[in-house]
Each structure stands twice: as C-alpha cells, then as structure tokens.
Amino acid sequence: MKTDLQGVKGRRSVSIVSYADLAADPDAWDALMGRALTTHPHYSRHVMAAHRIAGLADASLAFVAVRGPGGLDALLPFGFKRDVSGLGSKVARPFLSPFITQTSPLVADDPDLPEILDLLVTGLRSASEGRVWRWPLLPTSTKLGGELLAAMDRAGWQYGIAHRFERPILERRTSHAAFLAGHPHRSRMKDLRRRHRRLSKRGTVSLDVATHGQSLRDAVAGFLALERAGWKGRAGTALSCRPQHEAFARALFADANGPVGLRADTLRLDGRPLSISLALLAGGTATLLKTTYDETERSSAPGLVLEAQIIATLHETEFARRLDSATLAGSVLEDVFPDRETICEIVAAPSGASRLFPVDPRIRLAMIERDAKALIKRILGRR
C-alpha cells in the first residue's frame, strides 16, 4: 500500500505507506534512524519489527512518510481508535503499545527541518481524513516537539494540552564526581552509596553489562524470571505472564543489526541477580525501558542501587550522552535523575476540523476521562 498525497514542497513529498513498503527498504529506514533528531528508538525498524513479531502491531498499520532526495526524512506510524475527545467517534493517534514511552515522529536532523515538518503535518491531516488527533507522550520541551507544534501553527491547526508531566532524565556531566557534586538531592545519592556498601559487606557486588549474543539473551531470561517472582507475577502483569509481551521482549533484545543498540545491566550479589535493567540506545540516548528487582531484598533498594551504578558507568565509559528514565509521573527516579523533559498529551485538530466542536471542550473531556481512570486506579490499589 502506498498513497501519494498532494503535499509536495521543494524536492520532497509526503505519502501514506504500509509496514511492508518500509520493510522492503530496510537501509532507508535505518538511515533515517541513524540521522534522527528524535531521541527515542520506538519507531525504528528494529523496535517496530519486534512489535510485528509479537503480534502487537496490526498488519494494516500505516505510516506517514516524508521523502527527499536523500531518502526518508520523517516517519510516523499511526492508527485510529474511538475516543471521548472525538465524541465517541474515531480519532487518529500515533502508534502506541505498553512499551512505547515517547511518540514524537522519527525526523531527520536536517537544515530543512521546517520544510520536512510542514510536509509531515500535511500528511497528518490526510492520514486522519481531517479527524482530530489525540497525541500522548509527546516531548514538547525538545527542539523537535517545539518545531512540530510550530508546523501545526503554520498550517492553522488548533491544539491544546490535556495532560503534562516532567519526566526525569539525565544529561551526562563532565565526570561522575561533577554529577554528584551538583546533584540537587545529594543526601539521596549518599544513601544509595551507603546501601551499596552494606550489600558489599554481605558478599561480592558486581555489575554485569550485556549488549549482544548469549549473554544478552541470558540477561533477558533472568529479567523475565526475576520479574515474575515478584508482585507483577502475582498480579499477572509480568512480561512472562502475557505471551505477546514475552515474545516482544525476546524479539526486541535479540541481536540488533541496525542503529539501535541493546543493553542489559545486572546488579549481582555473589553471582545472584538482585536487579536487572533493559535499555535501548539510539542517537546518544539510552532509554531505560524496564527494570526489575529481587523483592526479598527490598530493604536494600536494589533497583535504585542499580540505577546509581548505571549512572556511574555512564560517566566512566560514556556509553551514552543521556539517560531517559522512560517513566510516568511520580516515579521514584525523580530524586535520582536531576534533569527533566516535559511530556504532554495534546489534542490537535486540523484547520476546519474544530468548527462544529472546538478543541477546548475536547481537551476537557480528555482530562475528565484521565481523572476518572486515575481515581479508579487509586480505589483498586487501596483494595
């Protein structure tokens, strides 16, 4: 499937393409990821392929694609769902799964960025057939997020924020010592070092890093077993409790052959895993996708001790420029990762789409829905 749209600007054009269209030219997809301004890996070929293998992405999944003389310049997978912001009718949204923590489009870092985004916004309107977009997990404090909203402004879209939170991130300092000296919660970092020393008195504490091959597969298997042994296993929400989710994890952390790197960090005590973190690396950012820990060692906070060790290793080995906690609001990492990135959910309507029912009431409906879900979650949590 390929649908050419009317959007043409300079030497570029925009179209709607299928997964099969993109997979037929993997080098172009990988090349876009390799030069992307986007800081997350979720719409890369490797991650989208893992979704397909696990059955988490429908065969009919479509993408808005901007192409230029050098190949792909922008890409966004999208779909439709019935939603309160559409008054019960379908709205468009970026592709989302339980494992996607950002939804900014995959866009090349290019001097012609405004032109690329103008075409992308043209494609968004055509893709949604003029419907409203409900767009969660959009980082608006980044250059890309701001430029995307500016392109919507130029096209006459109406949009507003339905939800906002500050996600903990970490920009690498000149050294680990500089990081600790400038940390706004130095007592918290001191506490984690103290917990590490206490663990060391009980045996040999080590950090194992796996990036490929059998060691990586073993780390993923260890993660699945450790997570299932805890409360998520009892609740039935551990990855290994759901065949599609386990299949996704195993496919995602199979050896990568493109620009997305894989990483598993394991904190051990005398060889026994206390905590395991799984991460994806792209564009200088390590997205810390999942962490689990041995709940029998809860008093030692092994998950946070591991995060502190990853931070130290980041400064020692420079394996990334930036750590993305990939968390939602209220994360325990807010006291550990000192920097912030604004993540928003927006409701956006192409020009003309908001005449009959403006954007502001749609936003209020989305906010009421979110508050109701949060209340239900709190009630169930107390029970």
The answer to whether residue 344 is domain-embedded is: no
Residue 381: pLDDT above 80? no
> Which two structure tokens, joined as six digits, stand for 214?
């059998």
Run of H or E including 5: strand 2-9
What is the domain extent for residue 265? 173-320
Q: 12 and 157 share a domain?
A: yes
Question: Taking the CB of residue 214, how many other CB atoms lie within 10 A of it?
Answer: 9
Is-contact 66 127, C-beta < 8 A? no
Q: 156 and 183 share a domain?
A: no
> Which two structure tokens, joined as six digits, stand for 26?
């993997």
The answer to whether residue 119 is domain-embedded is: yes
Across 133-142, 242-251, 349-358, 367-376, least confident range: 349-358
Is-contact 170 322, C-beta < 8 A? yes
Q: 231 and 112 share a domain?
A: no
- The beta strands (E) that lie in 114-260 are given as 133-139, 158-171, 205-210
- Of 270, 299, 320, the last residue of a domain is 320
Q: 302 and 370 share a domain?
A: no
Q: For the purposes of burial, counting CB atoms within 10 Å of the CB of 373, is it exposed (0-12), middle (13-18) or buried (19 or more)?
A: exposed
Q: 160 and 182 share a domain?
A: no
Residue 275: pLDDT above 80? yes
Q: 127 and 151 share a domain?
A: yes
Q: 10 and 142 share a domain?
A: yes
CA angle 27, 32, 316 (to 5 degrees): 105
Residue 5: pLDDT above 60? no
pLDDT confidence of residue 95: 98
Residue 352: pLDDT above 80? no
> Which two structure tokens, joined as six digits, stand for 262?
């894989």
Q: 129 and 207 share a domain?
A: no
**What are the helix and strand counts (H, E) for the chain?**
12, 14
Q: 91 and 62 share a domain?
A: yes
Residue 294: pLDDT above 80? yes
The answer to whether residue 332 is domain-embedded is: no
Q: Which 8-state DSSP code applies to residue 256?
A: P
pLDDT confidence of residue 134: 96
Local confidence band at 130 (pLDDT 50, 70, 90 cut-offs): confident
Backbone angles phi, psi at 228, to 5 degrees: -70, -25
Over range 215-228, report the average pLDDT: 97
Measure the CA–CA gap between 121 and 359, rounded to whole angstroms: 17
Local confidence band at 87 (pLDDT 50, 70, 90 cut-offs): confident
Residue type, 382: R
Write out pLDDT tens, residues 21-60: 999 999 999 999 999 998 899 999 999 999 999 999 987 8
Measure the CA–CA gap between 165 and 87, rounded to whole angstroms: 25
pLDDT confidence of residue 382: 59
CATH of the domain at 205: 3.40.630.30
pLDDT confidence of residue 153: 97
Is-contact 149 159, C-beta < 8 A? yes
367 contacts: CB under 8 Å, gap ≥ 6:
162, 163
Local confidence band at 338 (pLDDT 50, 70, 90 cut-offs): very high
The mean of the pLDDT values for the chain is 93
Task: Report the candidate in 140, 113, 155 with the shortest Cα–Cα distance to residue 10.
Answer: 113
* Strand-strand pairing, 133-139 and 285-293: unpaired
The answer to whether residue 339 is domain-embedded is: no
> Which pTM does this prediction carry?
0.93
Q: Percentage of the chain surpassing pLDDT 70?
A: 95
pLDDT confidence of residue 304: 98
Q: Which residue has the higher pLDDT, 100 or 2?
A: 100
Over range 70-87, report the average pLDDT: 93
Q: 73 and 177 share a domain?
A: no
pLDDT confidence of residue 146: 96
Across 24-28, 117-121, 239-243, 375-379, least confident range: 375-379
Number of domains in the chain: 2
The 3-state DSSP class for residue 315 equals helix
Is-contact 106 91, C-beta < 8 A? no
Q: 305 and 241 share a domain?
A: yes
Residue 383: pLDDT above 60? no
> Which two structure tokens, joined as six digits, stand for 135?
């767009």
- Of 275, 300, 320, the last residue of a domain is 320
Q: 113 and 208 share a domain?
A: no
pLDDT confidence of residue 232: 95
Query: What is the maximal distance between C-alpha atoms in the chain?
Result: 68
Residue 8: pLDDT above 70? no
